[in-house]
Structures are given as structure tokens and as C-alpha cells.
Amino acid sequence: MKEFWGRLGYYPVGIVDAVGHKGGIWFLSANLKFSCKIIWVMNQYVTLEIDGGGRRWICSAVYGSPQATNRVELWSHLLDIVCAFRTREGGNFYSNRSSIFASTLDSCGLFDLTTSGRRFTWFRKIQGNKEIAKRLDRACCTTEWRLLFSEAFVEVLSRSHSDHCPLLIRCQGVLIKKENRPFRFQAAWATHPDYKAIVQKSWDSTDFGIHRKLLGVQEVSLEFNSTVFANIFIKKRELEGI
């Protein structure tokens, strides 16, 4: 596997071997100029300190156990990371389990990065040769990290031998045609005093489910960006003299 990824220009910086067909984490990087130091390794996660380009941050690659009781250790680890570094640097849906997951993300100050590519990340054949698909894999970040990499997003790649799709995190973004450009939340919006009220008004304006509510928030956010920030990326390039 190392030779395979090496031919594609990636090198492993943290590995947790699978047990049979269960678990397994491969943390890969394509940037040799970045220093990656492993801080913690357990069967459900690999946590590294990444240093490069004048920026330093903590990143955890996680493979949560399908057993809810085993994930307690994982949630505790994520909370410990946040506490430690804040002190140092400033198929079936289970609503209860989902609530615990959402609560942990909220306690850690984490939110999903914008995703491009496939909608679902996990696929499996079940009885009758039917296929079920779920969004089990995601990349999350803090507001501070988002400010460091304002154009970052996640690409969901096609799977090969695994039932999970690989996630490719593009920290600097790529040039995407306008009609295919994914929606990306800009942390700068949240600094404007009017933005929260605009989002709340949009969210409360429809009763047609979460999907429609999110689409509404996306629409008003893009309009807000256009009228208030007047395309912050153009301004950024102008200030940088690009």
C-alpha cells in the first residue's frame, strides 16, 4: 500500500492497521515541506501536530467504532485535545447516538468543512443485492483553523477495495468552474453583526424540512456575500497584489 500511495505522490504520516475488515486509518500527506509529528495513536484515532508554511495546527484522523460503548473513549479523547490545546494556545438512524456525536462536536467547537464530490461516503451490499449508502465520513474544523485556510474544502473520492470513500482535504482550494463551484461558508460572514439575524430569518421562513432550510441559508449567504462583502476573494487578491 505504501508503494501504491507513493506512486501517486503521497506518503503516510500515521497508520493504524485494520483488524480483519474492521477499522484501519491511513493518514497521508502530499507536502514534504510540512512537519507531521504523531502525538497520540489508538485504534480509533491518530492525532498529529502539523507545522508548515508558518502555521501550526492539530489534526485527528478518526475511525469511530460501530459499537456505541467503544466510542465513549473517542469522544473523551477529542474533548481532551480541545481542553489541552485551548489552554496551551488559546441504514438506521439512532437519534440518541447522533445527539451525543453532535454534542461532542459542539463542545469541541467543530463544524463540517464544505464537501465536494459524492454525497455519501459509505456503501454496503445487503440482502437481495441492494446497496445502502450513508454519510459516515466527514472532515471537521474549528473557526480558528477555518480562518487559517479560508478556501479549504473536502473532496469525497471514489472508493476502491474499502466500503468507505477516501477524503481528500484541499487546504488551498482549487480553481473550479463557476457553475460547479461548491458552496463554502466563509468565517468572515460570522464577524458581521447582521449575519446571524439574516440566517435566523431565512431558517424560520420555511417549514419544508432541514434540506430546504439549508438551501435557503445558502442562498441568503451568497447574496449577503455579494452585497456586503462584494466577493472577499477578489478583495483578498487585490490586497495581495495578485
**pLDDT of 157-169, one tens digit each?**
877 777 888 888 8
d(CA 200, CA 194): 10
Q: Are 8 and 80 contained in the same domain?
A: yes
DSSP-based three-state secondary structure for 174 = coil
Say what percent of the chain tops pLDDT 90: 0
Boundary of a domain, candidates 109, 137, 152: 109
40 contacts: CB under 8 Å, gap ≥ 6: 46, 47, 77
Q: Are 3 and 92 contained in the same domain?
A: yes
- Residue 83: the pLDDT is 66
Comparing 27 with 231, which gets the higher pLDDT?
A: 27
- Global pTM reads 0.45
Q: Are 4 and 97 contained in the same domain?
A: yes
What total of structural domains would you count in the chain?
Answer: 3
Grid-cell match 483488524, residue found: 19
Domain of 223 in residue numbering reads as: 185-242
d(CA 199, CA 192): 12
Q: Are 92 and 22 contained in the same domain?
A: yes
For 113, the grid coordinates are 468543512
User: Tell me: the pLDDT tens digits for 47-83?
Assistant: 888 888 788 888 888 888 878 788 888 888 787 777 6
* Total count of residues recorded for the chain: 242
pLDDT at 179 over 70: no
Q: Are 224 and 141 contained in the same domain?
A: no
Q: Are 90 and 119 contained in the same domain?
A: no
Comparing 181 with 95, which gets the higher pLDDT?
A: 181
Packing angle of the helix pair 71-89, 95-108 (nearest 10 deg): 10
Q: Are 13 and 92 contained in the same domain?
A: yes
Q: Are 69 and 32 contained in the same domain?
A: yes
d(CA 162, CA 165): 7
Q: Are 92 and 29 contained in the same domain?
A: yes
pLDDT at 217 over 80: yes
- Residue 60: the pLDDT is 87
Boundary of a domain, candidates 140, 163, 181: 181
Grid-cell match 454519510, residue found: 135
Q: Are 67 and 121 contained in the same domain?
A: no
pLDDT at 128 over 70: no
